[in-house]
C-alpha cells in the first residue's frame, strides 16, 4: 500500500482519497470492530498491541516516504507554484522607475447591451488609467455630455497595485526556498504555505472586493477633478475592478430642496449606490436619480485570477499531503 501512495502523489486530485488510503489499516480493523466496540468497548482496546506491531514496519516505510515528500515532492510543487505565480506576476507588469511610460497601453470600451446612456473608452497602462472618454446621454434633455481626462492627470487603480504587490510578496517567499534548501519538518512547509496562501488570498480579495465608499467620499475624491470639461455638480463617476472586470459607475444627482418633506437619510458606504440614495455635502442635500454601470472584461486580470486559484489549490494540496503523514505521527498507542 505505501508504494501506491507515492504513485498517487504524482497526480493532482489526491487529497481526499489519499487521507482515506493513508488510514486504510486503521479503517479496516475499525469498521469490523465498530459493532464490537458499541457492545463492548474494552474489547477494542485489547487489539492495540497487535496494531502497533503491524504499524512498526509501516512506520519505517512511511518515514521513508515522508522524507521523499520533503526532499522531492515539495520542491516539485514549489517549482510549479513559482511558475504559475511568475505568469500571474508577468500579467501585472511592474513599472521600472522612470520608464513607466514604456508600459503597454490597452484600450477598453465599456458599454452595456441593454442601455446606451453611458459609454466609456478607457486606456489602462499598467495599474493606471491614463485616458478616459465618457459619453453620457442625459435622459430628459437628450443632450450628450462628453468628458475626458485632463492631459496631465492619470488615475491609479489601487486594487491592481495591491494585487500585484501581494503576488510579488508571495513570489519572494517562494524564491527564498529553492531546490538547494532542505526542508526538515512538515511544519516548516505548512508555515511557508500559510504565508503564501495569505498573500494569494489577499491578492484575490483585492480584485474581487472593490472598496465601498460613501457618496460624500466619492464627491470629494480626486477623481472628480480629473476631467475636462470639469464635471458638473450633478454628475459623479467611479472606477473600480470587480473580479476581472473594469467597471465605470456614473451617478446622476439632483439637489433636494432644503424644506423638502421627504425624510432625509444619508446612505452608508457601498460599492454601488442605488437610485434614491441620499447624502449631504457642503450644506446641500443630494439624491441619486440615475445610476449607470458599464463594464468591460480585462483579459489579463481574468488570467491572473485563474492563476491565483490554481496556486491556492496547489498550496492546499501540498498541505494535505503533509497532513496525511502528520496524522500518522500523532498515532501513538497508549
Contact string (CB under 8 A) for another protein, positions 167-186, x = contact: -x---x---x---x---xx-
All cell numbers assigned to 87:
505568469
SS3 61: helix
Q: How far apart, in whole angstroms, are the C-alpha atoms of residue 168 and residue 95? A: 13
All cell numbers assigned to 152:
496631465
Site residues for another protein, 99-138, by CB under 8 A, read 100
CB 120 within 8 A of CB 248: yes
Site residues for another protein, 257-286, by CB under 8 A, read none
SS3 108: strand
Nearer to another protein, 44 or 112 (CB): 44
Min CB(157)–another protein separation in Å: 12
Among 157, 277, 312, 318, which residue interacts with another protein (rule: CB under 8 A)?
312
Q: How far apart, in whole angstroms, are the C-alpha atoms of residue 196 and residue 160? A: 18
Contact string (CB under 8 A) for another protein, positions 144-163, x = contact: ------------x-x--xx-
Nearer to another protein, 143 or 180 (CB): 180
Min CB(323)–another protein separation in Å: 6
Contact string (CB under 8 A) for another protein, positions 31-60, x = contact: x--x--xx--xx-xx--x------------
Nearer to another protein, 27 or 79 (CB): 27
Nearer to another protein, 166 or 273 (CB): 166
Among 61, 75, 86, 95, which residue interacts with another protein (rule: CB under 8 A)?
95
Site residues for another protein, 192-231, by CB under 8 A, read 192, 195, 198, 202, 211
All cell numbers assigned to 46:
485489547
Q: How far apart, in whole angstroms, are the C-alpha atoms of residue 330 and residue 17? A: 20
Neighbours of 313 (CB within 10 A): 15
Report CA-CA distances (Å) from 282 to 236, 272, 285: 16, 22, 8
Nearer to another protein, 107 or 172 (CB): 172
Q: How far apart, in whole angstroms, are the C-alpha atoms of residue 124 and residue 103? A: 10
Q: How far apart, in whole angstroms, are the C-alpha atoms of residue 255 and residue 219? A: 14
Q: How far apart, in whole angstroms, are the C-alpha atoms of residue 30 and residue 180? A: 42
The number of angstroms, rounded, from the C-alpha of 217 to the middle of its chain's C-alpha atoms is 25
Neighbours of 316 (CB within 10 A): 13
Nearer to another protein, 34 or 79 (CB): 34
- Using CB under 8 A, list all residues that contact another protein: 12-13, 15-16, 19-20, 23, 26-27, 30-31, 34, 37-38, 41-42, 44-45, 48, 94-98, 100, 156, 158, 161-162, 165-166, 168, 172, 176, 180, 184-185, 187-188, 190-192, 195, 198, 202, 211, 309, 312-313, 316-317, 320, 323, 327, 330-334
Amino acid at each position: 500500500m505505501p508504494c501506491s501512495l507515492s504513485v498517487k502523489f504524482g497526480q493532482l486530485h489526491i487529497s481526499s482519497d489519499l487521507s482515506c488510503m493513508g488510514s486504510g489499516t486503521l479503517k479496516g480493523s475499525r469498521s469490523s470492530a465498530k459493532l464490537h466496540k458499541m457492545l463492548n468497548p474494552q474489547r477494542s482496546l485489547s487489539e492495540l498491541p497487535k496494531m502497533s506491531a503491524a504499524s512498526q514496519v509501516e512506520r519505517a516505510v512511511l518515514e521513508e516516504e515522508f522524507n521523499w515528500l520533503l526532499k522531492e515532492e515539495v520542491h516539485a510543487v514549489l517549482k510549479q507554484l513559482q511558475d504559475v505565480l511568475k505568469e500571474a506576476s508577468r500579467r501585472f507588469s511592474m513599472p521600472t522607475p522612470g520608464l513607466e511610460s514604456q508600459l503597454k497601453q490597452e484600450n477598453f470600451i465599456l458599454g452595456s447591451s441593454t442601455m446606451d446612456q453611458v459609454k466609456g473608452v478607457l486606456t489602462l497602462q499598467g495599474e493606471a488609467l491614463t485616458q478616459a472618454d465618457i459619453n453620457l446621454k442625459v435622459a430628459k434633455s437628450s443632450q450628450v455630455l462628453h468628458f475626458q481626462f485632463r492631459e496631465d492627470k492619470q488615475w491609479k487603480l489601487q486594487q491592481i497595485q495591491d494585487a500585484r504587490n501581494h503576488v510579488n510578496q508571495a513570489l519572494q517567499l517562494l524564491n527564498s526556498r529553492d531546490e538547494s534548501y532542505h526542508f526538515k519538518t512538515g511544519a516548516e512547509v505548512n508555515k511557508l504555505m500559510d504565508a503564501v496562501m495569505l498573500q494569494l488570498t489577499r491578492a484575490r480579495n483585492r480584485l474581487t472586493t472593490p472598496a465601498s465608499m460613501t457618496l460624500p467620499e466619492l464627491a470629494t475624491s480626486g477623481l472628480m477633478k480629473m476631467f475636462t470639461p470639469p464635471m458638473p455638480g450633478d454628475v459623479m463617476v467611479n472606477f473600480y475592478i470587480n473580479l476581472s472586470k473594469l467597471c465605470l459607475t456614473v451617478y446622476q444627482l439632483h439637489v433636494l430642496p432644503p424644506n423638502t418633506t421627504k425624510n432625509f437619510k444619508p446612505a452608508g458606504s457601498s460599492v454601488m449606490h442605488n437610485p434614491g440614495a441620499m447624502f449631504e455635502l457642503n450644506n446641500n442635500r443630494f439624491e441619486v436619480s440615475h445610476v449607470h454601470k458599464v463594464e468591460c472584461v480585462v483579459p489579463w486580470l481574468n488570467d491572473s485570477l485563474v492563476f491565483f486559484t490554481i496556486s491556492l489549490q496547489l498550496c492546499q494540496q501540498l498541505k494535505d499531503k503533509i497532513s496525511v503523514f502528520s496524522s500518522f505521527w500523532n498515532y501513538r498507542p497508549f
